[in-house]
Amino acid sequence: EPEVTQTPSHQVTQMGQEVILRCVPISNHLYFYWYRQILGQKVEFLVSFYNNEISEKSEIFDDQFSVERPDGSNFTLKIRSTKLEDSAMYFCASQKTTSTDTQYFGPGTRLTVL
């Protein structure tokens, strides 16, 4: 069964550094998402992406965050200057359409900012 993959599984970085989290969505899917889960808290929506542009973003997704689909297979989340509070598990998800289709989640990247 096709699945969403994410790399790396764990990323450690210094505060102020840039990080790029990578996701490979399921190949025929059209809608892409990033969510995050700070330890002990809820899974939170960050951004949705369709037709090569952001369709919705949360208040968390400020100017330090950006997303890109640089080629036909990858979907990336960049954090320009990481803060301690960016430490979290980041999940990528993809969806074929927005009707009743399922959002399929990747296994997550755990980001630790020191």
Partner 1 sequence: AQSVTQPDIHITVSEGASLELRCNYSYGATPYLFWYVQSPGQGLQLLLKYFSGDTLVQGIKGFEAEFKRSQSSFNLRKPSVHWSDAAEYFCAVGLLKAAGNKLTFGGGTRVLVKP
- Of 9 and 17, nearer to partner 1 (C-beta) is 9
- Of 14 and 102, nearer to partner 1 (C-beta) is 102
- Of 14 and 100, nearer to partner 1 (C-beta) is 100
- Cβ–Cβ under 8 Å, residues 93 and 32: yes
Q: Which residues bind partner 1 (CB under 8 A)?
A: 4, 31, 33, 35, 41-45, 48-51, 55-56, 91, 93, 95, 98-100, 102-108
Quote the distance between the C-alpha of residue 114 and its chain's center. Answer: 20
> 7: which 2 tokens?
């790399």
For strands 10-13 and 109-113, give the pairing.
parallel
- Cβ–Cβ under 8 Å, residues 67 and 55: no
